[in-house]
Each structure stands twice: as structure tokens, then as C-alpha cells.
Amino acid sequence: MELIVPFCNPYLLLITKSFRDRKLEDPFMKEFKGIFPAIMTPFDVQGQVSEVALRKTVKYSLDTGVDGFYICGGGGEGLFLTVPERQNILEIVLDEVGGRASVMTHIGAFQIPDTMTLARHASKAGADAVASMPPAYFAKPNLESLVKFYQQIAEESGLPTLAYNIPGRVPINLDTSTFDKLIKIPGVIGLKDSTGDLYQLTLSAMLDGGKITVLNGGDQVLWYALMAGCKGGIGSTYPAMLPLFVQIYKAFIAGDGKTGLRLQQQVNLVIQEILRFDTLAAMKQILKWIDLDSGDPRQPTSPLNSNQATELKAGLERIGFFDLHK
């Protein structure tokens, strides 16, 4: 497959040649759809990444029927990890997965050179795709800067690249018009959108005749996002109730709207309890209760105190959450 770009743009021509020389057609044939839990990075009592716990989480997820994994994102505390830690996590996950599911790694970082280091490593390690939020923590980049940023990621990684839209964390919304420009970059194949905005999700999913990959990042609207054209979901609350999210996607594939809606409502009762606290701290606490202990969050996030943990557990018991894990 020959990628055709305007001859007048030497930068894009360079990217195209690199993609052709590396014979990247096969990686770009892979479909990214279904359920991708955003793995919560497990830490031991010393605060170091726990390989044992990480492998246990991956095995449990595979046994539950996930389609892929998303690592080192917000739920995975990626921005609080060192570059070597993030590289090590990717290698462990890839080894445990053993090709049985797709592995997508988030490479966004406070410093762009770190992002590019992670992009190159992802390619060498054998990741299936990379994703990154915009480099916009202290400034709002213009469209030209965004295009250059994602072009560089696509070139450095040589992997399918997804933009990550999370305007609640960075001061920019990758709206449909912006996303339409980004998907014209060779190698950029889609978007993880965590806005929960179904109107925007629908418009983004319609681009390129509906062939573009849009993965929903708003766990509370997964069912509706699938109906709006999203190919699947990446979620930070998935690890707490993975069987339900897997069943939501199966209901969608089967065209079982009644079941899908019921499951989404059940999920949202749990999310409602989680959102009463810091999401990351609440999720880490829940994982301890369901035998998927991932330790405490890394600073600056504090774990729930005893009163908060008691309150969260009471709320979850009230809605029958623990019945899912018997």
C-alpha cells in the first residue's frame, strides 16, 4: 500500500518514505475495537512497580475476555512514572499478553523528548499502538503545533497513533474539526475521547466515512458511545468491574439493547460511588477488596483514609457491587 502525500510537503514525504521503508502495512491492518482496560499501575509497599501484581492483573483481564490493554495513561499514573518505569511496564505487559490481545501504550509526558523516547521504545518493544494527550499542560498549542507533535510521534514510533482528547486535564479540546486535521497525518489512525460528549463523539466517529477509530474514554457513557459509532472503549474504572464492561460490548455486538442499557445503568451506580472520592484513590482501594491489590497511589495522590474507605465500602455494598466478585 502506497501512502500518497502532497509532493510540496517534504516533511510529510519523509514520513511516508519512512513508513514505506519499514514495511508497516501489517501493523496498520490491525483493528482496535472492543474493551481496553486502562491498567492501574500496581506498586509494592516500597512504592516500586510490582511485576507480580501487574502480571496477575493482565492474566485476570485476559481470562475475563478483554480485547486489549491501555497502559501508562491517567489511571495508570503514567505522568508520575519515570521513563524507565514506563518502558519496563510495557515490556512486562507485552510478555504476559503474549500476542493474545492488543497493547496500546500512552506516551504523553511533561517533556516532549520523553514522549519521543517512549515512542521509539514502544516500536522496539513490540507495542501495537501508541496514544498521547496533547502537550498542553502550561500552554494551549495551536493547530500547527498539534499537527507537528502527532506527526513526530507517528514518525518516531512507526506505529498506529491515537490522539487522546481529555480537556478536563489539558487546556484544549480536540474537537471534530481539529481531529479531522490530525487524521490526515500518515500513521494517525484514531482518537481516544474522554469528554463524554456524545454529540462530539458522534461527529468524530463519522469522519472518513465512519472508518476512523474512535475509542470512548467516558466509562459512564460506553453503551451510548458504541451506538454513536465508537469502536470500543478505554476505561479507568474497567478494572473494578471488568466482566460488566465486557458484557456491555458483547451486548452491543449482539444487538441486545435491553441488556446493554441495563448493564450500563449497573455500571453507572458503581461509578457514582467512586466519584464521591478521588477516582484514583477509590479505584486503588476497590482493587484491594477484589483481590487485585495494586497498592496505594503514587504521590501526589493520597490513599483513602479509613473513614473514606468505610464510606465507599458501605455505598458499594448498598448497590450489590461485591456480588460481582463472589
- pLDDT one-digit tens code per residue, 217-253: 999 999 999 999 999 999 999 999 999 999 999 999 9
CA distances from 67 to 35, 101, 209 (A): 5, 5, 24
Average pLDDT, the chain: 91
State how far Cα 112 lies from the chain centre: 19
Any idea what the CATH number is for the domain that residue 82 is in? 3.20.20.70
Residue 51: per-residue pLDDT: 98
Residue 325 lies in a domain: no
- Domain holding 127, by residue range, is 32-240
Residue 146 lies in a domain: yes
Segment 40-61, tens digit of pLDDT: 999 999 999 999 999 999 999 9
Which DSSP helix (H) or strand (E) runs through 198?
A: helix 198-205
Residue 181 lies in a domain: yes
Residue 187 lies in a domain: yes
- DSSP code for 22: T
d(Cα 92, Cα 45) in Å, to the nearest integer? Answer: 19
Residue 234 lies in a domain: yes
Residue 4: per-residue pLDDT: 38
**What confidence category does residue 21 fall into, taking pLDDT thresholds of 50, 70 and 90?**
very low
Residue 291 lies in a domain: no
Q: Report yes or no: 289 and 313 within 8 Å, Cβ to Cβ.
A: yes
Interval 117-131 mean pLDDT:
98
Residue 167 lies in a domain: yes
pTM of the entire predicted model: 0.90
Is the pLDDT score of 11 beyond 90? no
- For the chain, the straight-line distance linking the first and the last C-alpha, in angstroms and rounded, comes to 50
Residue 185 lies in a domain: yes
Of the CA atoms within 13 Å of residue 304, those in its CB half-sphere come to 23
Number of structural domains found in the chain? 1
Residue 326: per-residue pLDDT: 78
Pairing state between β 188-193 and 34-37: unpaired
**What confidence category does residue 28 fall into, taking pLDDT thresholds of 50, 70 and 90?**
confident
Q: Report yes or no: 76 and 39 within 8 Å, Cβ to Cβ.
A: yes
Counting every residue, how long is the chain? 326
Is the pLDDT score of 155 beyond 80? yes
d(Cα 47, Cα 19) in Å, to the nearest integer? Answer: 39
Residue 140: per-residue pLDDT: 77
d(Cα 291, Cα 307) in Å, to the nearest integer? Answer: 21
Is the pLDDT score of 24 beyond 80? no
